[in-house]
A and B are shown apart, each in its own frame.
Chain A
Amino acid sequence: MLERLENLSALYANPHRFMNLAARLHAPLWLTAVGALGFGLFMVSGVPDDYQQGATVRIMFVHVPAAWMALFAYSFIFFASIVAVVLRHPLGYLAARAAAPVGAVFTLVALVTGAFWGQPMWGTWWVWDARLTSVLVLLFIYLGYIALWEAIDDYGRAARATSILAVVGFVNVPIVKFSVDWWNTLHQPASVSRFARPALHADFLYPLLVMGVAFLLLFLAITLTRLQMEVLRQRLRVRQSEG
């Protein structure tokens, strides 16, 4: 199994090969991502107002996929780091580095859209609810990861240190979630009650799923572009060190 993986990864360990593949994938990926986003937004515009939430329910179609992507991007960073360390695959480090700011922005989008939704619905921009708090902590995990990449000048050292941090952070996320859930139930039995989530009606479900796919494609497209940039930057670094 591992051998097969190694063969597969060796195929694209060569940055030349990867860059060729990326150049071919680049335009179609961006086109489908933008197309899916357009289609998703079109579907969302046709969604009827919610009987409780009115038009604000449409914020959900950005908020929920952004939150999904916040978690997905961090998992992506974790697995890319593992691949980089275990298979000694140089692109893994670069992929993790490329994905980090994208994930951080999705996390920020989830928090900000949540606040915009919370203001009319809960009457406040922010509550120290378990979910909100754990997403905020996730944002700080992203920021620490990005800051560590920026702080270490030597590329090899930065790559190894950040891969350790990626693993530590990945272990930490569920522990934070668990502890914050416990903490919130301790302090306040939901003074601002989350509306009892009804099984989503198809009118809401399908646009949400389309938006989810669109955000996923968008994440992949941006990360691919950034990864190409990272490879080029790496080449530049090598050239410069050769003097």
Chain B
Amino acid sequence: MSDWRILQALFARELRLVLRGGHLMPVLAFVFICVMLMPFGLGPELSLLQRLAPGLLWVIMLMAVLLSLDRMFQADFEDGGLDQLILLPVALEGAVMAKLCAHFVGILFPVLATMPLAGLLLNIRPDTVVPMLATLLAGAPALVMLGAIGAALAVGVRRAGLLTVLIVTPLYVPVIVFGAGALARSLAAPGTLDVAALGMLGLISAASIFLAPPAIAAALRAGIR
């Protein structure tokens, strides 16, 4: 089999696992639980929620991605699948990318698709839905790639969840700064997208797509030995 076919097969396998394993439902539930808690914490006043909605949804999205990555490599580590990934005749970086793409398609897309509904519950202004989705979509690759670094570093650690959060949150700071920043600027001038900030966000995503896989692969190799 050519390298490409192997990666395709790996992607298909991972996607099946993600969809079958019931990983999606808890993540979606987490998003809506956070949304439900906001009015309790902040008060049910709709105008206040409307003002805060875009930023809140960015924070919720970020936490949801973090939580969804918790078991990313852990299950493979426990059942020996990780050793098989390393032994594959393709670069581990490629195999990691196939896994992350499956995660993106299987979990991130559905979460993004429910974001307008979550926004509806927070009384989001209808004209802010498209800018919100645009910034979330531009930032999502960076969230996945950087989060995977933390998940890979914590592989094999008992109770890795909180450790991953602690490691990854500093890496997420630039993403949410430019993501929520681009969104805030777009909202200040309705009907426009802030190209500069959105460009920075895309740049961070692109850079993390190229720079994160070697770090993830190195972390996995360090974890397995």
- A: residues with CB less than 8 A from B are 137, 140-141, 143-144, 147-148, 151-152, 156-157, 160-161, 164-165, 167-169, 171-172, 175-176, 178-180, 182-183, 186
Contacts and interface: CB of A to CB of B under 8 A. Distances in A.
Given A157-B223, A157-B225, A164-B218, A179 B166 contact: no
B185 A172 contact: no
B149 interface: yes
B177 A179 contact: yes
Interface in B135-158: 149, 153-154, 156-157
Nearest to A173: B170
B133 interface: no
5 contacts: A144-B169, A147-B163, A160-B222, A165-B167, A186-B181
Interface residues of B, number: 28
B220 to A, nearest CB: 10
Given A148-B163, A156-B225, A157-B156, A137 B215 contact: no
Interface of B: 149, 153-154, 156-157, 160, 163, 166-167, 169-171, 173-174, 177-178, 181, 184-185, 200, 204, 211, 215, 218-219, 222-223, 225
Given A157-B156, A168-B149, A179 B170 contact: no
A112 B153 CA distance: 31
A172 B163 CA distance: 18
A171 B204 CA distance: 13
B97 to A, nearest CB: 18
A92 B60 CA distance: 39
Contact of A183 (B177, B223, B225): B177
Interface hub of B156, B170, B171 (most chain A Cβ within 10 A): B170
